[in-house]
Amino acid sequence: MMIVIMDRTASLATINSVLRFVEDSGCTPHVSKGDEKTIIGVVGDDRALLSEKMQTMPGVEKVIQTAKPYRLVSREWKPENTVIDVNDIKIGGGDLTVIAGPCGVESETQLLEIAHAVKEAGASILRGGAFKPRTSPYSFQGLGERGLELLAKAREATGLAVITEVVTPNQVPLVSQYADILQIGARNSQNYSLLQEIGKLRKPVMLKRGMMSNLEEYLMAAEYILANGNYNVILCERGIRTFETSTRNTMDISAIPLLKSLSHLPMFADPSHATGKRSLVAPVAKAAVAAGADGLMIEVHNHPEKALSDGIQALLPESFAELMKDLKKLGLALNRQV
């Protein structure tokens, strides 16, 4: 359904031509004549295009869509939670899943040390970028395929599942050979070619929220993946861009319960990128869990001062272990297993 608000100066002839247009499009108009304005309810079709066209017609002040533009991701379409199985980890199944690891894969020693440490502390999935989208063309861009091989090695050594980012459509086959979960980063959250390519896989994918995507746009990005056939999508709030610059981004904590009510997909939070400050990671991680997140993604580095990227926001393994203990206590209070 769609609602068309006519301008108060619209003549009867103008109104009639809109009504005719609605009928010609195969829809049924319902007219309400108010004291000042005429409102037309359009029943039968809510395609975006029809709405766009009507907005350009003479006499039309505003067109309001009453239906949401997304379908497959919505809870109206699928009321029960989507649970994604990755190596027997049930993502979105009620327990809290923790992904941890370095920003980028730098070397075998680095990765294995961190992997063992986060495994020991209770994480079940290892993160690590092999292809890094960097603001500067002169920054470290990742180890590429060598990084993927190291991730596979770390999986073997620890039993952790592995998640890593894919940044361009033609890398998708390569990355999906190695990763258990593919990640689409915030800067690519509206890279529709990449979303379509990922949609053709059946592998789990974590789609991070763009730092300037509102919730509707974010869900539409996820819809691209589902519409191409891949239903294994994990959402992840990682902070939006605002005027506040004392943190790297602003964690939109309300997005966690709101997205869980709008969509059936599992919902994670990334306090490392949201805050960009080591000292804020633990309190914001706890907040995300209290707000209902299905999981967390946390950067951990054994030598942050030697990290090739984002060391400033990485937790030390011992702080991460501390946080995991606190999360377990918190989980107990919230009737959830970590």
Residues 106-165 that bind a copy of itself (CB under 8 A): 133-140
Q: Which of 169, 319, 322, 336 binds a copy of itself (CB under 8 A)?
A: 169
Q: Which stretch binds a copy of itself (CB under 8 A): 94-102, 112-120, 143-151, 236-244?
A: 236-244
Rounded-to-integer distance, Cα 297 and Cα 300, Å: 10
Does position 312 interact with a copy of itself (CB under 8 A)? The reply is yes
Nearest residue (CB) to a copy of itself, 19 versus 287? 287
C-beta of 100: minimal distance to a copy of itself in Å?
18
Q: Cβ of 198: how many Cβ atoms within 10 Å?
A: 26
Residues listed for the chain: 338
Site map for a copy of itself, 268-287, x if CB under 8 A? ------xx-xxxx--xx-xx
Contacts to a copy of itself from residues 243-262, by CB under 8 A: 243-247, 250-258, 261
Nearest to 161 by CA among 89, 58, 82: 89
Question: Could you say which residues in the range 189-208 bind a copy of itself, by CB under 8 A?
Answer: 190-194, 196
Which of the stretches 92-100, 121-129, 145-153, 210-218 binds a copy of itself when contact is defined by CB under 8 A? 210-218
Strands 233-237, 267-269: parallel, antiparallel or unpaired by DSSP?
Answer: parallel
> In terms of CB distance, is 122 or 169 closer to a copy of itself?
169
**Can residue 16 be called a binding residue for a copy of itself (CB under 8 A)?**
no
Q: What does the alpha-carbon distance between residue 338 and residue 336 come to, in Å, rounded to a whole number? A: 7
Tokens of 50: 């029809």
Q: Does 41 bind a copy of itself (CB under 8 A)?
A: yes
8 binds a copy of itself (CB under 8 A): yes
Task: DSSP for 265-331, please give it.
Answer: S-EEE-HHHHH--HHHHHHHHHHHHHTT-SEEEEEB-S-GGG-SS-GGGPBPHHHHHHHHHHHHHHH
174 is a site residue for a copy of itself (CB under 8 A): no
CA distance 273 to 30: 49
